[in-house]
Structure 1
């Protein structure tokens, strides 16, 4: 590690600090953003495939819901081991491995022909992708102190809504135009075509990313020392050991808070196309274009919330208020489910709030943990939160099978968001606020 006292000659100006962080932001965030777009698109494009795959293969809503959710069984089981392996082998190697393997498994989804093969490949996809999000969040802490994590985490995580902005129309077009091309169903083309970029970018990650500040040839020695100075100061008072990551009670509390927020996230991610279709829109391309709207607005909401959070040094209200907005939006979408315009407005509000909670949540753990503790703690939080990926889709699938409507299930997700928002205030402000 560079020593600020030996490498920095003279006082460091605010302009120098701003330039150093600007270089890191522009070098890393656009590329990591693209990685996350691929990750999320490969994870949730099953929501679009569902529009025709279910009828082609004779799947019920319950089968779909379980298949969509079983991804998270593999994901949760291998999340912590994956992040600990990254500590040993380095970020660029492990991030590249994750992307290449999950891209290959996602493409193999085109061969699904039964509920069993659907479940097996969704489980394998979870295993392949396990550790990706906590690995990236941990990787960002190698470059940014906690006080600057709100904005950069939000910028990175705009990959979630932008996968909807990009993936909605693209997925809708594939579903509308590629059916029976070369004898393949449209949903088979969907899995194949959307997996290719992930594999390509996975190989690029190996050559593009640097494991740490010291390896960055694109930074000057002075810029490196500025970053190392801030990172060293940021470690003061945080938990460091691997054991701390597993035993710290705040980690487990944050994990369960995240569980309630992700209930809303995966409800929207997996069922938004179906909710839009139920409101009276039939053409898959039109469904794709309409799902783009909530995600586009959510992107802006995430960035503005992250900037405000860093500027004020306040974390809890910036997490709780978006959660409440998400709950109100989901409930409103149920109340006006038969009115496409009002339902879309409500779903847009819900998506803006829900997406903002996800990016803001991941600012909290690095405020408490660093090093091996952060690797374990982030993985635990994401693992517990990801259990909702199994619960939420299956819950909605069962409710729809029983009631022929998703309304009751969506209201349950709204309540979960409200509970998560209230639990945020059980975390002391002194632990997470930064100025």
Structure 2
């Protein structure tokens, strides 16, 4: 089997209970120049990939403003249809990442993009709750492996001290997806009714599902699988880059493991997966229901789309600053815990008042917390997942976490159906999100007491 290059990022420093690990030597000017070239060449494309992925998995939240009534969906049915995406994603995520390791990121990520774009467009022809749920499940199958595949790919290109910053650039796809797509979606919903005999929500899926198909061609032609095959680097830069990444691999192996079997036996993988589960509950509950939370104040769909960008604009700025601060201080644990608590508090603020201003403030606080904690979370498995075990390890953590992608939207919809109040859905999310920082805190105490974070 052809293995993807080593998974080489790792926790660094000793602050706030972070496990000390071997540090790489100072990066030479030649290595720094090669890394800079890689950043400018690869990151815009990686960002665009995740941006389009997040648009196509989350635009159903905006489509719901008119689609739910047209298809006769209850809040519970909508929550189920949204959440079932996660089970398709989970079932095929580990196999997808194994195939990525075999065939290379360039080919496999392009394949993922074509299939999810086609299925996203097909959602325009859903006839009811059943067909919509089937298409959402298939969308999850098509997109399976994308997020951990991209994270794994980035770790083959960037040394550990760069990773929180790099991950924050990649994760900018989430706020940018909302900032770009929400106003466009709102405009489509208000202005494309019965154009060509289709409803406006159908046009939303058709228009926003097509770009990934085009970008897949660019990904296949432009993406480079590993530093050693980068023709756009000079021979000296390629050699220096390769040696740097090999040293990162050796440093990580002194505190971790590389085997796929060992990864499945490591309780840290399962605890991190559970922590991510509660984070994803909040993430998906917020993302898919935010348009309807805002719509309760009787705004037009266009205004809902515009207002929905505010939390993500603020969150994007906060995320970049916070991730950069995490890299500078070499601290990860509290850089995850503190924004996770803010994530929870924001839900309470949004629910506690009927004022649209207070509610938007709460949604903004939650979005800031969510966007700040997730890139830092991606650095947490770094000290023990290496080589062939890393692709599967990341996929397993992501798969466990993405189970929350079903429960977040579904539990909010069920709560609203049972109580008739959207605020109660926000209170539920605030409680569930708190389990994530609690688990990470307990794990950080454990790894201070037991060598190797076991």
Kindly indicate whether the alpha-carbon contact (under 8 Å) linking 1:260 and 1:419 is maintained by their aligned counterparts in 2: yes
Structure 1 residue aligned with 2:203 = 189
Structure 2 residue aligned with 1:409 = 425
TM superposition shift of 1:226 = 2.8
After TM superposition, the structure 1 stretch with the greater mean CA deviation from structure 2, 223-232 or 190-199, is 223-232
Which whole-Å CA distance do the structure 2 matches of 1:231 and 1:346 have between them? Answer: 42
Which whole-Å CA distance do the structure 1 matches of 2:317 and 2:237 have between them? Answer: 30
Which whole-Å CA distance do the structure 1 matches of 2:274 and 2:94 have between them? Answer: 16
After TM superposition, the structure 1 stretch with the greater mean CA deviation from structure 2, 30-39 or 408-417, is 408-417
Structure 1 residue aligned with 2:345 = 328
TM superposition shift of 1:432 = 12
- Choose from 164, 167, 170 the match for 1:156: 170
Structure 2 residue aligned with 1:367 = 383
Residue 346 (1) aligns with residue 362 (2) = yes
Which whole-Å CA distance do the structure 2 matches of 1:245 and 1:172 have between them? Answer: 44
Q: Which runs of 5+ in 1 are unaligned?
A: 3-10
**If the length of structure 1 is used for normalisation, what is the TM-score?**
0.94
Which whole-Å CA distance do the structure 1 matches of 2:383 and 2:174 have between them? Answer: 23
- Choose from 414, 429, 447 the match for 1:398: 414
Residue 112 (1) aligns with residue 130 (2) = no
> Cα gap change, 1:427/1:228 in structure 2, threshold over 3 Å: closer, same or farther?
farther
1:311-326 → structure 2 map (5 Å cutoff):
311-326=328-343
- Choose from 263, 267, 283 the match for 1:249: 267
Structure 1 residue aligned with 2:311 = 294
Which whole-Å CA distance do the structure 2 matches of 1:81 and 1:187 have between them? Answer: 33
Structure 2 residue aligned with 1:94 = 108
Kindly indicate whether the alpha-carbon contact (under 8 Å) linking 1:281 and 1:287 is maintained by their aligned counterparts in 2: no
TM superposition shift of 1:152 = 0.1
TM superposition shift of 1:221 = 2.1
Residue 36 (1) aligns with residue 53 (2) = no
Residue 262 (1) aligns with residue 276 (2) = no
Question: How many equivalent pairs are there?
Answer: 423
After TM superposition, the structure 1 stretch with the greater mean CA deviation from structure 2, 66-75 or 356-365, is 356-365
Structure 1 residue aligned with 2:76 = 62
> Cα gap change, 1:13/1:70 in structure 2, threshold over 3 Å: closer, same or farther?
closer
**If the length of structure 2 is used for normalisation, what is the TM-score?**
0.90
Q: Which runs of 5+ in 2 are unaligned?
A: 6-24
Which whole-Å CA distance do the structure 1 matches of 2:403 and 2:300 have between them? Answer: 32
TM superposition shift of 1:355 = 1.5
After TM superposition, the structure 1 stretch with the greater mean CA deviation from structure 2, 414-423 or 132-141, is 414-423
| SS of corresponding position for 1:75 | helix
Which whole-Å CA distance do the structure 2 matches of 1:226 and 1:322 have between them? Answer: 37
TM superposition shift of 1:298 = 1.1
Task: Show CA shifts across 1:167-191 (max 9, x none).
Answer: 1101111111111111100000000
Kindly indicate whether the alpha-carbon contact (under 8 Å) linking 2:295 and 2:304 is maintained by their aligned counterparts in 1: yes
Which whole-Å CA distance do the structure 1 matches of 2:451 and 2:89 have between them? Answer: 27
> Cα gap change, 1:281/1:218 in structure 2, threshold over 3 Å: closer, same or farther?
farther
Residue 47 (1) aligns with residue 65 (2) = no
Structure 1 residue aligned with 2:86 = 72
Kindly indicate whether the alpha-carbon contact (under 8 Å) linking 2:34 and 2:241 is maintained by their aligned counterparts in 1: yes
Kindly indicate whether the alpha-carbon contact (under 8 Å) linking 2:348 and 2:430 is maintained by their aligned counterparts in 1: yes
Root mean square deviation of aligned Cα: 1.9
Which whole-Å CA distance do the structure 1 matches of 2:442 and 2:42 have between them? Answer: 34
Kindly indicate whether the alpha-carbon contact (under 8 Å) linking 2:61 and 2:289 is maintained by their aligned counterparts in 1: yes
